Amino acid sequence: MTTSSENAIAPEQSVPQQIRTIAVVGAGTMGLGIAQLCVQHGFPTILFDLNADILAKAEVAIAAGLGKLVEKGKIPPQNGRQPWPASTRPPT
């Protein structure tokens, strides 16, 4: 019988991976907060939600939040402009 520690990869054997895109599922309060945090740190972020109204409100809230952070000089302007891909919108 093997234990999970026998199958574990030692830290020196692991290969760091670069984050290319972050997907957040659910555009409610928590989801929009997570998405905004990812965007303000410069990660390409896709926000998904089945409810188009919630998604639209989240996009407005994130844009407003990022705009305030740019105005205050907390984040660079390029991190305040997040293009939201069409795939974030549910099919009609």
Render pLDDT for 14-64 as a digit per residue (tens, 0 to 9).
777 888 889 999 999 999 999 999 888 888 889 999 998 999 999 899 989
Element spanning 5, H or E: helix 4-7
Contact (CB, 8 A) for 24 and 47: yes
Contact (CB, 8 A) for 87 and 81: no
- Is residue 75 pLDDT above 80, yes or no? yes
- Cα-Cα end-to-end distance for the chain: 52
Q: How confident is the model at residue 76 (pLDDT cuts 50, 70, 90)?
A: confident
Q: Mapping DSSP to helix (H, G, I), strand (E, B) and coil, where does residue 38 land?
A: helix
CB proximity list for 85: less than 8 A, separation 6 or greater: 46
